[in-house]
Amino acid sequence: MTDKKHAKWFLLAVAIAAGVLLITAATPFAIPCVFRLITGIPCPGCGLSRAFLYAVRLDFLAALRMNILFVPLLVGGTAYLVCALLELRGKPAIARLNKALSKKWVIVIAVVLTAASWAYNIVYGS
């Protein structure tokens, strides 16, 4: 898949995620965690939807309490969004971002953050 097609799919995913967040924010509808329903323990992503909803309301402390992974996902998602928009304008950026994110130390940090967040969710709930 070319980076331009990749950018279009990413922007579509962002639009769908934004729609789901808006529906969740405007209604009492909540997205259940299937992992938690089956196992009884929260998954590493439990609380992320609520964290992004709090961030939209500019309550960043509450967002951090819901799931600390909200911060790297917000930063990474924003960086990827900017790169996707640049890609659509004909300026190659996604390949450079992918190369930066595929470095071993970035992957190790992501795994450690995910494990720490999951441990926090299990001990303190999300």
Q: Which pLDDT belongs to residue 61?
A: 92
User: Where do the domains of the chain lie?
Assistant: 3-124
pLDDT of residue 38: 93
Report pLDDT for 84. Answer: 81
Task: Supply the pLDDT for residue 90.
Answer: 80
How confident is the model over 58-64, as a mean pLDDT?
90
Strand extents, DSSP E, 10-126: none
Instruction: Give the mean pLDDT of 54-61.
Output: 87
**Residue 48 predicted with pLDDT over 60:** yes
| pLDDT higher than threshold 60 for residue 44 | yes
User: To which H or E segment does residue 80 belong?
Assistant: helix 70-88
Q: Which pLDDT tens digit goes with each residue over 77-88? A: 888 888 888 877
Please check the confidence at residue 100 and state whether its pLDDT lies above 90.
Answer: no
The CA angle 8-12-17, to the nearest 5 degrees, is 145
Per mean pLDDT, which range of 1-5, 35-39, 53-57 is the poorest?
A: 1-5
- How far are the Cα atoms of 1, 29, 121 from residue 97, in angstroms, in the given order? 16, 35, 30
User: What does the alpha-carbon distance between residue 117 and residue 51 come to, in Å, rounded to a whole number?
Assistant: 13
Q: What is the pLDDT of residue 28?
A: 66
pLDDT at 29 over 70: no
Residue 33 structure tokens: 């965690």
